[in-house]
Amino acid sequence: MEKILVCVTVQEECVRLIRFGHDLALKNQAELHVLHVSQDKSLLGTPENAAVLNTLMSLAREAEAEMCILYEANVPAAIARYGKELGAKTLILGPDRTQVTARVKALLPEGVTVTNIE
């Protein structure tokens, strides 16, 4: 079965990424997975971030998706490694404001689609 990986940050706007991934998974009869990579555990410690993360986790559950949180300094490498281990054929990311997409793509095998949702 095809696997889709949605990569989220701790921002409310990532709700739309999970919804987009869910719709795509339904259309393609694929498994949906959600990933958040944090460079620092303390970044998740604020009440605001905890509330957003809970919202994203709840939405992932509603979409019947597994959500994973990784703590790694090199975010693009962590995304690419997780995507490869998962066997994801599609990665969905938000707007690329920091050139993460190019760094992730460079680490993925050919045939993996990486889409930015603006």
Residue range 35-54, pLDDT digits in tens: 999 988 776 778 898 899 99
CATH number at residue 109: 3.40.50.620
pLDDT value of position 39: 87
pLDDT value of position 50: 87
- Say how many domains are in the chain: 1
State the pTM of this model. 0.94
Domain that holds residue 27: 3-116
Residue 64 has pLDDT above 80, yes or no: yes
* 80-86: long-range pairs with CB below 8 Å, 24+: 80/104, 80/107, 80/108, 81/107, 82/5, 82/35, 82/37, 83/5, 83/108, 83/112, 84/108, 84/109, 86/3, 86/5, 86/33
